[in-house]
Structure 1
């Protein structure tokens, strides 16, 4: 006997119906309906936004900006790479940190019109400790105490006496535990007292010695499996695992980690609220246990999503006073999270509002041996800038937010003239053996550890799919260094044919688009205003979604600045072109 399972064409065939239209699955088939809220047209002419840049009689954007349509249907202007401003007015932005080199006469007087400080390094937070107009990143004496940064044990706090009671690397004036050595200065509850000397690290009112989650606030102290680790921080809350071992760094403890993931989105089936449909974000707007991607009524208001003009906000009456296809209760704030769609990083998710890497997981990719030390991360600008200061083993700083489709961009800058190794960023991170990495080396070089195999690096920008059989260790370390495929470890998806390395103290802007539902990815790299590398359309479904972060390998003084991510599941136009060309090639 055979079991026949219905295929959902609306999921498996991305072009079953025209973009932005309703697709309804039926047993053995499907049917296409009208355009989704906010769009006009039909299955013949296509569904287009009610407003479009092309329909404007007057272009409000600066000559160095481009017009975009927000999901609300509003027109927005954004400065091109290498320029900064509010979009209506743009000025040169040499270091690509989001601030123009000179002040602009912006009508709204927002940050976009402010001049960048006298600094040629990316500095998206514009920190200036001594207020001298020179940004901390390029001020030789950032705190103005007369002691150069390289010799100052408090770079950002004046302390001419350089007193250091605990003999760590931080002087008493800036040490959040002046009498207890704590090189990381971690302060979980942000109360000004470092974790190393704080009697209540998470600030939940329960002393560390009595707290079953000392670093995660949990005043109720719930512990279902009674293993001494509270549910709030337990990697296996229903199975006893007091040691909390997690060998693959996927935030699931080893004793309950099945590694069974039918849809490949990085969530094991037993924890996946849509086990048959990739949905790394696990968004569940109505908290009914069914993820939005497989729930036909995301807000549970009785109106099916395909016909709901406020899909995430309860509005059974579907009131739409201005008849623009968007209900009144979600006009300009589709997910009702009090952050306007225009500035919301994920306007269709109330759980993600702004780019923020202040909370991150450090993943060490070569934990054994003493070839080099581990990376040290410093997060600035409210989580939108990361600095790595050490010449280190390969490592990652990974944010905790998981994404389905996403656009991720940032400015990369090596702020030194010493060394010539790897820096980059990651996406689709699922565990320490499964992620995508875009990495760039300055010069050609063979890795100095010839075991377990010889690894040769070329200077070209590279896009790799990491699916390591061995996990963190010497095999993965050498496979990452090596340009090319390493069976069982790393697959090279694309390499810049120019075969050139990055330049010292030069800012580069990357733009990544990833649509894991169809395996689409594309990377663009700009030097100043010039597009210098473009991967074109790359298709790979090794990882169908995951987390974002940055990558380093044996390179110090790396700045990732002006970071920005935005949820986006819309398939780019070039995907359809690529798909058609591929199908034609197959037929031939």
Structure 2
């Protein structure tokens, strides 16, 4: 009820205010009219004694006027003051005298103005006619209007004028500029797609037959299918890469960069003679051991002869067969312990350790290292002395840390594992439904074989049974996928060059910092390069006193492994 009363009161006050406004205007007009009447009466009083036909005076003259400075008309009236002088109308408006009050009439207001002729105000053409193109500013010029030039991306006329009718009839017209037809493909790469839009344009992917992007440019796509676009050597072969590009590799028995190939007698990836490659590829350099495989081209003494075919690899004057440090110069051949490694190359010079094992790769062999795994916990206190675990987590409190416990959730201090499957007997169910070597209770894909147990998004579900390996919301293979970067989160699926491979995984699909062309497993971040430097030997012959275990030498940063002598059978597992 109070709200309705308030509303009614507001309505009454509004009406009262409107009446007061109208009354104020009426009073103002009446004041003007009274002023005109007063002036008229005064003028009539001045001229009223000079009537035509009045009796002359005794001197025979007409009665004198009270205002002798006003000349008499022939009719007997004094000359009346002109109502249009001074001009009461608006500047530039004609004034016409009339017999009707107030004695004059003003003509129409000038173009671009509105009013009664006495008072004229500017017409807002911009508001009433909206003459300018959307995006172009309309400026009122009093009188008239003016449109600013067409917006960027459009061309057209610049409109200006006076009056609403003109503004409505002469509106500014701006037409879209097709930037893609400017002779420069809109500024996009000449071999890319330019799409015109209203007021602008967009640079798109490379045209068919070209690869690249707007940053690096679009270049002709090389093809393996046609001889004219196949850049590979006649003794090489063409490879179609994931990102749509191609690469070349030499056939077996040949070496080089693929574009140029030469004979490779020892099949180690280096040609017998230097090749004229323009990219300075290392595989175009001459093999420093032409008849002996050495894929790393190691040359300890830098004499141009590879270590594998140099009878004194370290150049210390001691032949390899007699040298206790074959790759480290040590003429004195000092060997403080009883192993086969001289002090110059022994990672435990005072402790015998023929295996030279160095778990944490700190240059100090495990046999003499107080912290074998380099986790900051001394061996005597470390519950996993050979596996880094600075937190020393041990959920089952059996004295063996979870990092190296074969049953981390069940106490088994002896770590008994009769079947050597790395699962302790106490928690070994021997149930492996998919036969991939991983017990069902520990298998991240219990029903799908996945011996690698790869889990790219660490969600506990192996990639082989995970529909979204990178957990970015885009399914790997079904709608709204397939995901153009299956192993790297990219919910926006940005693919600048339109080759089907997302930008974030263009050169490195598994995001392991090793480009796909060098990555031995481009779809697994856990395996990047072949590396046998941390190999484990599996002896395959029956145990006995007369066995000779295999002796392996690892070269080329772990990518080449060589057995140096005849031995019993065995495996090197890297």
Report the CA distance between 1:247 and its aligned residue: 4.4
Alpha-carbon distance change, 245 to 109 in structure 1, aligned in 2, over 3 angstroms: farther
* Superposed CA offset, 1:447-482 (max 9, x none): xxxxxxxxxxxxxxxxxxxxxxxxxxxxxxxxxxxx
Find the aligned partners of 1:149 and 1:329 in 2 and give their Cα distance. Answer: 49
2:345 is aligned with 1:170: no
Report the CA distance between 1:84 and its aligned residue: 0.9
Contact kept? 2:396, 2:411, Cα under 8 Å: yes
* Superposed CA offset, 1:216-259 (max 9, x none): 21111111222222122222222233333444443333433333
Among 364, 367, 373, which residue is 1:193 paired with? 364
2:414 is aligned with 1:243: yes
**Alignment partner, residue 392 of structure 1:** 567
Find the aligned partners of 2:329 and 2:429 in 1 and give their Cα distance. Answer: 53
**Alignment partner, residue 130 of structure 2:** none
Find the aligned partners of 2:317 and 2:517 in 1 and give their Cα distance. Answer: 44
Find the aligned partners of 2:534 and 2:273 in 1 and give their Cα distance. Answer: 33
Report the CA distance between 1:390 and its aligned residue: 4.1
Find the aligned partners of 1:315 and 1:123 in 2 and give their Cα distance. Answer: 42
Find the aligned partners of 2:386 and 2:452 in 1 and give their Cα distance. Answer: 24
For 1:271, what is the secondary structure of its paired residue? coil
Which moves more between the two structures, 158-167 or 387-396?
A: 387-396
**Alignment partner, residue 281 of structure 1:** 452
Find the aligned partners of 2:368 and 2:405 in 1 and give their Cα distance. Answer: 24
**Alignment partner, residue 311 of structure 2:** 140
**Alignment partner, residue 402 of structure 2:** 231
For 2:441, what is the secondary structure of its paired residue? helix
Contact kept? 1:118, 1:133, Cα under 8 Å: no
Contact kept? 1:72, 1:341, Cα under 8 Å: no
Contact kept? 1:249, 1:363, Cα under 8 Å: no
**Alignment partner, residue 118 of structure 1:** 289
**Alignment partner, residue 563 of structure 1:** none
**Alignment partner, residue 473 of structure 2:** 302
Greater relative contact order structure (CA < 8 Å, 6+ sep): 1
Find the aligned partners of 1:242 and 1:169 in 2 and give their Cα distance. Answer: 36
**Alignment partner, residue 314 of structure 1:** 489
* Superposed CA offset, 1:533-584 (max 9, x none): xxxxxxxxxxxxxxxxxxxxxxxxxxxxxxxxxxxxxxxxxxxxxxxxxxxx
For 1:305, what is the secondary structure of its paired residue? coil
Query: What does 1:60-139 correspond to in 2, within 5 Å?
Result: 60-139=231-310
Structure 2 length as normaliser, TM-score?
0.58
Alpha-carbon distance change, 87 to 242 in structure 1, aligned in 2, over 3 angstroms: same
Contact kept? 2:494, 2:502, Cα under 8 Å: yes
Query: What does 1:456-475 correspond to in 2, within 5 Å?
Result: none
2:501 is aligned with 1:326: yes
* Superposed CA offset, 1:42-96 (max 9, x none): xxxxxxxx98521563220011100011122211101000111110111111111
Query: What does 1:205-220 correspond to in 2, within 5 Å?
Result: 205-220=376-391
Query: What does 1:506-585 correspond to in 2, within 5 Å?
Result: none
Alpha-carbon distance change, 314 to 67 in structure 1, aligned in 2, over 3 angstroms: same
Among 21, 41, 59, which residue is 2:230 paired with? 59
**Alignment partner, residue 150 of structure 2:** none
Q: Which runs of 5+ in 2 are unaligned?
A: 1-220
Find the aligned partners of 1:76 and 1:92 in 2 and give their Cα distance. Answer: 20
Report the CA distance between 1:285 and its aligned residue: 1.5
Find the aligned partners of 2:278 and 2:364 in 1 and give their Cα distance. Answer: 42
Find the aligned partners of 1:280 and 1:113 in 2 and give their Cα distance. Answer: 38
2:329 is aligned with 1:154: no
Find the aligned partners of 2:426 and 2:446 in 1 and give their Cα distance. Answer: 20
2:539 is aligned with 1:364: yes
Between structures 1 and 2, the one with greater helix share: 2
Alpha-carbon distance change, 351 to 299 in structure 1, aligned in 2, over 3 angstroms: same
Among 335, 339, 359, which residue is 2:510 paired with? 335
For 1:112, what is the secondary structure of its paired residue? helix
Find the aligned partners of 1:194 and 1:346 in 2 and give their Cα distance. Answer: 30
Alpha-carbon distance change, 92 to 332 in structure 1, aligned in 2, over 3 angstroms: same
Alpha-carbon distance change, 189 to 155 in structure 1, aligned in 2, over 3 angstroms: same
Query: What does 1:433-452 correspond to in 2, within 5 Å?
Result: none
**Alignment partner, residue 380 of structure 1:** 555
Alpha-carbon distance change, 288 to 112 in structure 1, aligned in 2, over 3 angstroms: same
Which protein shows a greater Rg? 2
CA RMSD, 1 decimal: 2.2
Contact kept? 1:225, 1:238, Cα under 8 Å: yes
**Alignment partner, residue 209 of structure 2:** none
Report the CA distance between 1:366 and its aligned residue: 3.1
Report the CA distance between 1:118 and its aligned residue: 3.2
Structure 1 length as normaliser, TM-score?
0.57
For 1:382, what is the secondary structure of its paired residue? helix
Between structures 1 and 2, the one with greater strand share: 1
Contact kept? 1:213, 1:233, Cα under 8 Å: yes
